[in-house]
Structure 1
Amino acid sequence: MSETPTASGVPAVPVVPVLRMEAVRKTFGSSVVLRDVDLEVAPHTVTALIGASGSGKSTLLRCANLLEEIDDGAIWLDDEEITDPRADQDAVRRRIGVVFQAYNLFPHMTVLENVTLAPRRVHGVPRAEAETHARELLDRLGLGAKADEYPDRLSGGQQQRAAIVRALAVRPRLLLLDEITAALDPELVGEVLAVVRDLKGEGMTMVLATHEMGFARDVADQVCFLDGGVVLERGTAEEVFGDPREERTRRFLRRIVEAGRL
């Protein structure tokens, strides 16, 4: 648990992380995907998970949302241990929004129906209230005119923005973003990243796994470099991208620079 900066003589006020992981371990068969991962995400901050494919980024996010059961360790959401067997997993998931690289929109539902489904069915929000909130979010993300369209009538960038709106519609405490630009054409990446940048400005707490290194450098308050299921290095974006301590981090970033992605 971290503490807020204080004026001289004023006691520090503890800040409860929105998400906290301690010694989290996850295996698939004989393969160890996460090795004793520790992570803290402070309120109203963005944490970027970077690393090569297969380093454990997506699995970490899936464990945070209880989509994968951990083998050891513990995870807290605010001050509740959500990996306690007595925890209500459905209630936990209602407090976490998730956006995957695949849009996962229901093709037989309009954008508005996709966005309002969880608020109505899971949270019990009346239809009129859910639709009003959904339209406000769609307007804010530039999709107001697409509310009554079906997903296959939208571009990839529009579909991904609709998926973000769907995650926001439940008013999540924490937003997890898993490689949300991976399936997009290059010209559509910018419009989706602009949404994330706006959400940061509004104080949304986010954890994102990304290969967009320039974006991670610009938007993240904390950067974690994963390698072989281990958080090998963490720090501010300036520290990790500007002066990494670990040789493995330096090699990874050197390849990124050589590929023109940073």
Structure 2
Amino acid sequence: MSTVRREPAGQAAAGADAPVLSCAGVRKRFGSTEVLAGFDLDVAEHEVVVLIGASGSGKSTLLRCVNLLEDVDDGTIHLDGEHITDPRINPDRVRQRIGLVFQSYNLFPHLSVLDNVTLAPRRVHRVVRAQAEERAMAWLSRVGLADKAREYPDRLSGGQQQRVAIVRALVNSPRLLLLDEVTSALDPELVGEVLTMVRDLKSDGMTMLLATHEMGFAKQVADRVCFLSEGRILEQGTPAEVLGDPQQPRTRQFLQRIIESGRL
């Protein structure tokens, strides 16, 4: 399968600093189904890469492999040059440098917003409560949710819950932020809340890898869009290139269906 490779905005040039994330020849099977089929991707410092493609193309599986929630069957993944798929690596130590947010908020319903955000820093990273809460309140204030710190998740809108989930991933100052379909469970009018937050993170220089079905979302935040098909990148480039002038018939077919559904 050929891959159209344009000059990706923000990608590290030869001889420049090593990429924050590097995936080389990554393969992942579930039974007889190969979901990632020799997947290659580099994500440069401060770059926002958006993964698009049909369900089953490997987007979510890749994010889970990067966060070491799934073992790879072959290939390597490096984070800041460290081989994190080495079987001898401590996955919990690696996850301290990676934030992952799922499409379902996964907030603990019996804990307040503040306790949800500070749970990992206090329990896993042994940060004292006062320091953890100070850091959490700074983030909650920034995203307009300081007044919700003592509320429980079921008192929040979907957009507010997703923003809390993103804050929970950010509170440990991750090196890389992974976002898996973070707007797909939201009503259309709430998508903007999360989009604004992600755009602000982009302005801060956060390195991000996102999977999404929202092409408008991809247009607004991506430095580079990668279209996945059968576990590989079939086409990649700037949003204008991939979404506005796709070169591969499979990409054009996918985007036509998105247009017909009103999502582009």
CA deviation profile, 1:127-148 (whole Å, cap 9, x unmatched)? 1111001000001111100000
Question: 2 CA distance for matches of 1:145 and 1:13?
Answer: 47
Aligned 1:1-262 pairs, distance under 5 A? 3=12, 14-262=16-264
Higher RCO (CA-CA < 8 Å; seq separation 6+): 2
TM-score using structure 1 length: 0.94
CA deviation profile, 1:121-169 (whole Å, cap 9, x unmatched)? 1112111111001000001111100000011111111110100010001
Question: 1 CA distance for matches of 2:35 and 2:200?
Answer: 32
Please, which moves more after superposition, 48-57 or 226-235?
Answer: 226-235
State the superposition RMSD in angstroms. Answer: 1.2
Question: 2 CA distance for matches of 1:88 and 1:114?
Answer: 24
Q: How many residues align?
A: 254
Distance apart, 1:3 and its partner CA: 4.7
Question: 1 CA distance for matches of 2:257 and 2:110?
Answer: 42
TM-score using structure 2 length: 0.93
Q: Is the partner of 2:45 in helix, strand or coil?
A: coil
Asked whether the equivalents of residues 12 and 19 of structure 2 are also in contact (C-alpha less than 8 Å), the reply is: no
Distance apart, 1:218 and its partner CA: 2.0
- Paired position in structure 2 for 1:9: none
Q: Is the partner of 1:131 in helix, strand or coil?
A: helix
Distance apart, 1:242 and its partner CA: 2.1
Q: Which amino acid aligns with 1:134?
A: A
Structure 2: gaps spanning 5 or more residues? 1-10
Moved over 6 A (4+): none
Distance apart, 1:13 and its partner CA: 5.2
Q: Is the partner of 1:250 in helix, strand or coil?
A: helix
Question: 1 CA distance for matches of 2:163 and 2:49?
Answer: 20
Distance apart, 1:249 and its partner CA: 0.4
Distance apart, 1:260 and its partner CA: 2.0
Q: Which amino acid aligns with 2:157?
A: S
Q: Which amino acid aligns with 1:191?
A: E
Please, which moves more after superposition, 235-244 or 74-83?
Answer: 235-244
Distance apart, 1:20 and its partner CA: 0.5
Asked whether the equivalents of residues 108 and 116 of structure 2 are also in contact (C-alpha less than 8 Å), the reply is: yes
- Paired position in structure 2 for 1:8: none
Question: 2 CA distance for matches of 1:20 and 1:30?
Answer: 26
Structure 1: gaps spanning 5 or more residues? 5-11
Aligned identity (percent) is: 68
Question: 1 CA distance for matches of 2:255 and 2:149?
Answer: 40
Q: Which amino acid aligns with 1:239?
A: E
Distance apart, 1:54 and its partner CA: 1.4
CA deviation profile, 1:215-236 (whole Å, cap 9, x unmatched)? 2022101111011212111112
Q: Is the partner of 1:15 in helix, strand or coil?
A: coil
Distance apart, 1:258 and its partner CA: 2.2
- Paired position in structure 1 for 2:7: none
